[in-house]
Structure 1
Amino acid sequence: MTNDIEPRELDELDRTITERFPGVTVRKDLVSNLRGNALVPTYVLEFLLSRYATTTDEQTMRSGVERVSQILEEHYVHREEANLVQSKIREKGHYRVIDRVQVSLNEKLDRYEASFSNLQISQVVVDPAVVKANEKLLVSGIWCMCDIGYQYTNDKDEVPWQLRKLQPVQMSRDDRAHYLEERPHFSTEEWIDLLMQSIGFNPALFSDRAKLLHLVRMVPFVERNYNLVELGPKGTGKSHIYSEFSPHGVLISGGEISVAKLFVNNATGHIGLVGYWDLVAFDEFAGKSKKAGKDLVDIMKNYMANKTFSRGGEMLPGEASMVFVGNTSHTVPYMLKNSDLFEELPPQYHDPAFLDRVHYYIPGWEFEQIRSEMFTHGYGFVVDYLAEILHNMRDVDYGPLLDEHFELSSTLSTRDKDGIRKTFSGLMKLIYPTGEATEDQMEPLLRCAIEGRKRVKDQLCRIDSTMTPVEFTYKRRGGGQVNAVHTLEENDYPELYFRGQKQPQSDEGTQMSSTASPKAVKPAMDKANDTENSQLSRIQRLANSAKVGRRKIEENYRGVTYDGLFAPYIAGTTEIQIIDSYIRRTYQIRNVAEFLETVYKFTDHEQEIQVHLSTGKADPQYQQDQIEQLNQLAGIFQPYGINFTYEFDDNLHDRFIITDTGWELNLGRGLDIYQRFNTKDGLDPQVRVQSLRRTKAFTIHYDKRQ
């Protein structure tokens, strides 16, 4: 396994990280080398690496990784090997295992008993002192290294398994003093890149905005009682950080949970998840078929607003942040045209009173689908070390710094301001943990914080017509201009974003938009509407120009493009079939990508376009690349309203494009109409301009189905 570790030169950031934080950094690609089929969280693997492989010396690192690999191989319990491990414990008398352990109180026998998830043993007696020191064992369980003994007796109330030693797989020391002391040795950009590498990503592949949105995902770990929603396409890593990053967070799969599990079991008096965890995340929260009782929703609303829940007549405080992540089925313009950006939530949660308690809405559609090249090979903090720092930073509040340097619009509600302050405080703790930053450094964090709350409030005004729009503006203390904050979707689709809505009132009581100035609102929207109408009329004119016929192109022609060949026949369509047995190699898949670009140009962006490809399987040595590239294609075009799907059919012969408007295009060569050119030379204009490429000889027949 260690043979997979490639030697690499340390860059300047890696050298600074490892010099300033010796013993708590690790090369991030080691985790994927180690994981194999051991289904343990990242923080468990990095906890082990922090003991044996936090070094930049290649030989020592290899030795450490080999040691961790050996520990996992010998002591991590695979569920299918449970009987074998049980046998080892019996034959040896005791054995060390790595497993998820949960404890419950056996009231009949007045003792604590542990169950082991993969080892599949239960009723193992646990010393009360162990439970007292690790209370999370009583809730949803934690990963531990345990020494399990075996001693058989004839007592029917006794089990042969004995818990001789239990050690949670997490760091416990608070290293904030050193952490804060070293922060000034990094620039803002370097520190953000360090955090990105710490959560496993290569910062060079992300824009500044993308990095900041990734850090917003971390705010619930560092900010108490923070309520976050992220909805977006699947495959963008929405839930990954909540399951892998920290032992202080818990991820609920499926999005459904009971009051007893989440808050309190009134029958037993046992406190639920919010009483023990820093963060409770709900995966797959979206879905209109999901069910939730009114009592659960009401208790959640009270908890999210007041940070308390009741046990009988007693009100109990809770500090857990709430995170709700789920997949969207439609594009942003489709949602803005037909409903709202919360449309995917279950009906019980599509409730203004519940949504108004959300501090931030992360636009999940802005994240790219996760690809292997996005992961870093550089150094970052051992995630458990960073998670412990963030856990202890929850005691700090940098919200007052906002009020010290900036003034928010007086039209904002108390909940608007609370959401903005909490996000700002969380980002400050992540990026400027000492609290020392200039106004110019604070301002991007403030704008990010305002945008996330604005996205919530603007959608609430769509859902509830009685809710009053407000002005999301700010200015610096001591004077200065009023600055408006916009969401990207507001700028991209103004004609849809403000459809049917009142404009917010300014502090002076005059009508004011979130766009540049009150006078600019109507002209800007009129221009957007004119542009949209022009686009639709252009599409209609193109569709009307489509004629039945044949087009024959000779060898070595230039000036032939997909736009010229296909635009009239796909204009106004919503469903397209591509039938071509030979979409197998990279250059052929690139042809499909360029066809999808043409589809995007000549269809209505307020509609979602279905494009389905039927093709043959590549040769075995290329099949995995074919599948990965087709999946990548689907992910790339989904945010633009093109839902690309594919299937394999090895019985195909002819090549067609078929539209739901009745056109059938018989393609002699399929989409492969150009002679070979150097696609790897990004400076060659042929890569970007089809009209500069020379053609192969081909014929297309344009027929109209009856």
Structure 2
Amino acid sequence: MNSDVVLSELGLDQLLNTHFTGRVVRKDLTKLVKEGANVPVYVLEYLLGNYCATDDTDLIEDGLATVKRVLAENFVRPDEAEKMKSVIRERGDLRVIDKVTVKLNEKRDVYEAYLLNLGTTGIEVDPRIVRRFEKLLAGGIWSIITMQYLYEPGQRTSPFIIDRLKPIQMASMDMDELLKARRQFSDAEWLDVLLRSCGYEPKQFEDRVKWHLLCRLIPFVENNFNVCELGPRSTGKSHIYKEVSPYSILISGGQTTVANLFYNLATRQVGLVGVWDVVAFDEVAGINFKDRGGVQIMKDYMASGSFARGRDQINANASMVFVGNINQPVEDLVKTNHLLAPFPEAMIDSAFFDRFHAYIPGWEVPKMRPEFFTNQYGLIVDYLAEFLREMRKRNFGDAIQRHFTLGKDLNQRDTVAVRRTVSGLLKLLYPHEEYDKEAVRRCLVYALESRRRVKEQLKKIGGMEFFDVHFSYIDSESRKEEYVSVPEQSSGGLIPGGPQQPGILHAAAGASSGRLGIYRIETQITPGTGKFTVTGLGLNSASKESIRIGFGYFKANVTAVSAVAKPLEFDYHVQVTDLLSKGPSTGLTLLSFLGLSSGLLGVPAQSQLVLLGTMTIGGIVTPVDNLAGALQVSRDAGATKVLLPKVNAGDFGTVPGELLARFQTSFYGDPKDACIKCLGKD
């Protein structure tokens, strides 16, 4: 038995301690010292890595005691800030652990620091420190600081002085060491190492969930990678961007300015995108730029990695991450709306969303429970962070073309998105660049799905411009083409299969909002004298009138469909449901006539049928304005049959053949013809 097999049998912990000696830490120690210390994980693991990076139990116990002592003596707790100030004053100097943010005081032409937990402001900082660590000016960094106290009578400046400042991050990164060690792990083991290093217990997750968690790391290894993740609360969406790397900043609440994020014209300083590797927005529903044009600048930056401010064209490499909550079951949302609905109205723009390279389905990640967090060994997170940052300098984007070509439905922006996602996944899993065709295929399938999820939402927002969503890849050797779908799109539609009750019918029509909607009419008929009521349309009189016109036409003409019909011997109640919540429509007159006829005659409409077109008060058929869009909306709602005006037959050239082929199509020339074909047998 060779040594590799022996090591594999010893388990992942032993593999890590053997090949990453001094670079690993037991993650349960992090949780142990995290309690009561309101600092990011990478700060704690920096200390644990200095004292507990071993598998020797005695050394771990001694190291843990040292870390606890350092935190007790040097970590500044907000409720003990005044006590710490007193200690610094009495001793003259003290090393503290705190988050330091620096601003330029233009009036005095000096840099002044603010310490988050200590609560001190106006501390003068040596310009050399600021030039060396620019992130002090953009969001601040956690550091080990040697503070001094020097007070003189009449002094107007702060008596506190920062003598030395050491950011909590590794001084250097030996990539050759990491690449050599990576070769000792299988693909599955290395994936588990990455997840463990982030604090997760991989044994608790299915493979698909592991890939979603891995995708959260792509912004750390890919420059200018734009990704969003929406899902239920408590799935750990923002954890990675806040806790795992000193090169990432999480903007909570969404409030920001162009000067803060991109460029300050007054100080001529680049904002967050110029000094952080990852800029993440938490709670996307609350994103709000205080100045006009912020979203447009963001669109420009996400498309090209550059933006214009004043006369300057500025380049930056920060990846953009958007995380937020979906407050209803995705099965319902995908039927009635798009999956980007949680974004604020100002951002509901197809051009903005088209910049997203991937969409992580957060609803597939389970809500975090204690057992989902590991107690085993993983890489120290600042070591992990340095590895991820080093990988930003490399490009694996050409891996696809060695084995595959992309299908015809992918445009240039789709292609760029897929290549970047594949590159990011390969960097994470195969930093040593030793991957085979099957490895590339796995990454490619995930990348195609992630981008198609974006495109499916664009199709709902932007219409036929984004119809080409049938993503595929072609094997360069076999020339076999494989299509990649998104699981949530295969859920049941709004228009159910199977027979319906008489009086129930669906139509695709334009809403008052200008968008296309799907409307269901349900008719209840009871013995009476021909009375008519309609509900479901609120106070919209125009929409109600279109239904009443249909009722008037029904009373006068239903006998042309069936000679035995006696419409005045019954009362009618019609309920209209706006299934896509697009707003009321005035194009439901023909739908009203057909629904009432179906109910009175006791004959159900054909299953999964959608009506297109409407009619005037005199029964003249009105054609469909946007045939391709109406067909796409109908298809998304689950329709397999469509009934449309004959005059629209000439518009088939505007409809993609693939979409048209999905329907059984019937034409009508007048309302009577429409009624007969609507109620015909399946």
TM-score (norm 2): 0.71
CA contact under 8 A between 2:52 and 2:59: conserved in structure 1?
Answer: yes
Q: Secondary structure at the match of 1:122?
A: coil
Residue matched to 2:373: 375
Q: Which residue identity lines up with residue 274 of structure 1 in the other structure?
A: V
Q: Does 1:185 align with 2:153?
A: no
Counterparts of 1:414 and 1:531 in 2: how far apart (Å)? 44
Alpha-carbon distance in structure 2 between the residues aligned to 1:384 and 1:11:
26
Query: Which residue does the alignment assign to 2:246?
Result: 247
CA-CA distance at 1:317 after TM superposition: 0.4
Residue in 1 that maps onto 2:89: 90
Task: Kindly provide the CA deviation profile for residues 126-185 of structure 1, in whole angstroms up to 9, marking residues without a partner as x.
Answer: 111111111100111000011110111134443211111111011131221111111111
8 Å Cα contact 1:286-1:328 kept in structure 2: no
| AA at the equivalent of 1:249 | S
Change (3 A) 1:531 1:443: farther
Say whether the 8 Å CA contact 2:101–2:113 is kept in structure 1. yes
Counterpart of 1:417?
415
Q: Tell me the equivalent position of 1:112.
A: 111
Aligned to 2:139: 140
> Residue 435 of structure 2 aligns with which residue?
437
Deviations 1:651-694 (A, max 9, x none): xxxxxxxxxxxxxxxxxxxxxxxxxxxxxxxxxxxxxxxxxxxx
Distance 2:346 2:364 in 1: 26
- Provide the residue aligned with 1:465 in structure 2: 463
Partner of 2:497: 529
| Aligned: 1:238 with 2:237 | yes
SS of the aligned residue for 2:360 comes to strand
Equivalent position SS for 1:137: helix
1:128 counterpart letter in structure 2: P
* 3-state SS in 1 of match to 2:95: strand
- Per-residue displacement from partner, 1:233-257 (whole Å, max 9, x unpaired)? 0010000010001000000000221
The within-5 A match list for 1:154-553 is 154-286=153-285, 293-470=291-468, 471-491=470-490, 493=491, 495=493, 529-530=497-498
1:84-103 residue CA offsets vs partner (Å, 9 max, x unmatched): 11000111111111000011
Q: Deviations over 1:19-64 (max 9, x none)?
A: 0000110001101101121100000000001100001000100100
* Pair member with larger Rg: 2
1:389 partner amino acid: F
- Check whether the contact 1:263–1:273 (CA below 8 A) recurs between aligned residues: yes
In structure 2, do the counterparts of structure 1 residues 413 and 66 end up closer, same or farther at CA, with 3 Å as the change threshold? same
For 1:318, the aligned partner's letter is A
TM superposition shift of 1:109: 2.0
Root-mean-square deviation (CA, aligned residues, Å) is: 2.2
Please give the secondary structure, in 2, of the residue aligned with 1:230.
strand
Give the deviation of 1:259 after TM superposition.
Answer: 0.6
Describe the superposition over 1:541-567 as per-residue Cα deviations: whole angstroms up to 9, x where unpaired: xxxxxxxxxxxxxxxxxxxxxxxxxxx
Amino acid at match of 1:70: R
How many Å separate the matches in 2 of 1:316 and 1:11? 52
Partner Cα distance (1:383, 1:489) in 2: 34
Q: What SS is found at the alignment partner of 2:284?
A: coil
Structure 1: 5+ residue stretches without partners: 1-9, 500-527, 537-605, 608-706
In the alignment, the residues of structure 1 paired with residue 201 and residue 337 of structure 2 have an alpha-carbon distance, to the nearest angstrom, of 36
Q: Give me the whole-angstrom Cα distance separating, in 2, the residues matched to 1:425 and 1:238.
A: 22
CA distance in 2, matches of 1:39, 1:469: 48
| TM-aligned CA deviation for residue 310 of structure 1 | 2.3
Is the 8 Å Cα contact of residues 269 and 311 (structure 1) preserved in structure 2?
A: no
Deviation of 1:494 (Å): 5.2
1:338: how far off? 1.5
Amino acid at match of 2:116: S
Aligned residue runs from structure 1 range 6-17, under 5 A: 12-17=11-16
Distance 1:89 1:262, change over 3 A: same
For 1:530 and 1:62, the matched residues in 2 are separated by: 67
Describe the SS at the equivalent of 1:95: strand
Check the 8 A contact 1:256/1:285 in 2, yes or no: no
The SS at the match of 1:114 is: strand
- What is the Cα deviation at residue 458 of structure 1? 0.8
Helix, strand or coil at the partner of 1:399: coil
1:338-377 CA distance string (max 9 Å, x none): 2111111101111101000000011010011100011111
Aligned partners of 1:243 and 1:249 also within 8 Å: yes
Distance 1:280 1:206, change over 3 A: same
- From the superposition, tell whether residues 531 and 305 of structure 1 become closer, same or farther in structure 2 (CA, over 3 Å): farther
What's the CA shift string for 1:51-86, capped at 9, x where partnerless?
000010001001001100110011111111111110
Contact 1:291 / 1:346 at 8 angstroms: preserved in 2? Answer: no
Q: Could you say what secondary structure the match of 2:314 adopts? A: strand
Residues 1:436 and 1:494: Cα distance change in structure 2 (over 3 Å) = farther
- Which residue in the other structure is 2:68 paired with? 69
Distance in 2 separating the partners of 1:204 and 1:96: 40
- Measure the CA separation in 1 of the matches of 2:289 and 2:147: 41
**Residues 14, 378 of structure 1: 8 Å contact kept:** yes
For residues 351 and 292 of structure 1, the distance between their equivalents in structure 2, rounded to whole angstroms, comes to 19
Give per-residue Cα distances to partners, 1:295-333, cap 9 Å, x unaligned: 110000000001012232010101000000001111112
The Cα of 1:385 is off from its aligned counterpart by 0.3
Q: Is the 8 A contact 2:173 2:386 kept in 1?
A: yes
Structure 2: gaps of 5 or more residues: 1-8, 505-578, 581-682
Whole-angstrom CA distance in 2 between matches of 1:397 and 1:294: 36
**Superimposed CA distance per residue, residues 599-655 of structure 1 (whole angstroms, 9 cap, x where no aligned partner):** xxxxxxx99xxxxxxxxxxxxxxxxxxxxxxxxxxxxxxxxxxxxxxxxxxxxxxxx
Q: 1:11 to 1:72 in 2, by over 3 A?
A: farther
Whether the aligned pair in 2 keeps the contact of 1:291 and 1:348 (CA below 8 Å) is no
Distance 1:485 1:59, change over 3 A: same
Q: CA deviation at 1:209?
A: 0.7
Q: Which residue matches 2:151?
A: 152
* Whole-Å separation in 2 of the counterparts to 1:380 and 1:449: 27
Cα deviation for residue 478 of structure 1 reads 2.8
Query: Does the CA contact (< 8 Å) of 2:100 and 2:142 recur in 1?
Result: yes
Structure 1 stretch 247-256 or stretch 291-300: which is displaced more?
291-300
**TM-score, normalised to structure 1's length?**
0.68
Counterparts of 2:499 and 2:15 in 1: how far apart (Å)? 51
Q: Separation in 2 of the partners of 1:217 and 1:482?
A: 29
Residues 373-428 of structure 1 deviation map (CA, whole Å, 9 limit, x = unaligned): 11111111001101101101101111101112110013211111111100100000
- Give the whole-Å Cα distance in 2 for the aligned partners of 1:227 and 1:294: 22
- Structure 1 residue 466, shift from structure 2 partner: 3.7
The residue matched to 1:55 in structure 2 has which SS? coil
Conserved? CA contact 2:101–2:138, under 8 Å = yes
Judged with a 3 Å threshold, the aligned counterparts in structure 2 of structure 1 residues 119 and 292 are, in CA distance, closer, same or farther, namely closer
Q: Evaluate the alpha carbon distance shift between residue 454 and residue 302 of structure 1 in structure 2; reply closer, same or farther with a 3 A threshold.
A: same
Tell which deviates more after alignment, 464-473 or 412-421.
464-473
- Give the length in aligned residue pairs: 498
Partners in 2 of 1:197 and 1:161 — Cα distance? 41
